[in-house]
Amino acid sequence: MAALRDILVVFLFALGGFSTLSALCPPGWKNWHQSCYAMFFDRMSWADASKFCDIKQSHLVVPNSQAENDFFWRMMTERFETVKRRRVWIGCKRESANSSFECAGNTERMSFTNWAPGYPEQGDPQCVVLSKGLGTWKTNNCARSPFYNYVVCEMPNTPRVHCLRADSNGRFVTDIP
């Protein structure tokens, strides 16, 4: 019976019945953990930035941990070496001074924050930015043009299926592009 099972396994592998998964991000996007990130040098209001990311089937970046915030900050500092005003919208805002900040894709209160000293400021509405200096968060007016900021979009990375072919001896063939 074991010999029949071994033959069946070799036969299935010979037909190429094996696949693996890896993460895939669109061209120009950077993969980190389970998300893809893209930074754009367009400056716009928070609402326009949010729509911009929606069009790209993503959302404004929302760091959920210190590690993700640090990754995002490093990516920002690498890309904006020569840019003077280096603030990027984060997908969190509040509608009024009495409300809590809410983040893209999440109606619950923020579970992670990285506020700079003295922030968040009072006022309404307030949108969140990451400042290049120390990687801390500040608040900006969501729509006034002097406060237009750059955009980073985030999306879940999608699994990519790789099919592996086996030769007649059950060994994987490596001629797959």
Same structural domain, 48 and 59 = yes
Distances (CA, A) of 120 to 29, 116, 124, 173: 30, 8, 11, 57
Same structural domain, 10 and 82 = no
pLDDT, residue 23, reads 62
Per-residue pLDDT of the chain (177 residues; tens, 9 = 90+): 555 444 444 444 444 444 344 568 999 999 999 899 999 988 899 999 999 999 999 999 999 999 999 998 888 888 777 666 678 999 999 888 788 888 876 655 678 899 999 998 877 778 999 987 788 999 988 888 777 888 999 999 877 665 677 888 888 776 544
Contacts of 90 (CB under 8 A, 6+ apart): 60, 61, 62, 63, 103, 127, 128, 129, 130, 137
Give CA–CA dist 149/132, Å, rounded: 12
Same structural domain, 165 and 78 = no
Q: How many domains is the chain built from?
A: 2
Same structural domain, 83 and 14 = no
Same structural domain, 20 and 61 = no
Residue position matching structure tokens 């941990």: 65
Contacts of 54 (CB under 8 A, 6+ apart): none
Predicted TM-score (pTM) of this structure = 0.73
Same structural domain, 129 and 59 = yes
pLDDT, residue 12, reads 40
pLDDT, residue 1, reads 52
Strand partners, 109: 102
pLDDT, residue 144, reads 80
The angle subtended at Cα 142 by Cα 140 and Cα 145, nearest 5°, is: 90
Same structural domain, 170 and 147 = no
Same structural domain, 48 and 120 = yes
List strand residue ranges (DSSP E) for 17-94, in order. 18-24, 30-32, 35-44, 59-60, 87-94
Contacts of 115 (CB under 8 A, 6+ apart): 136, 137, 138
Q: What token pair was written down for 175?
A: 């001629």
pLDDT, residue 109, reads 62
Please state whether 48 falls in left (phi above 0), alpha (psi between -120 and 50) or beta: alpha
pLDDT, residue 50, reads 94
pLDDT, residue 133, reads 79
Contacts of 3 (CB under 8 A, 6+ apart): none
107: domain range?
A: 26-156
Give CA–CA dist 81/115, Å, rounded: 23
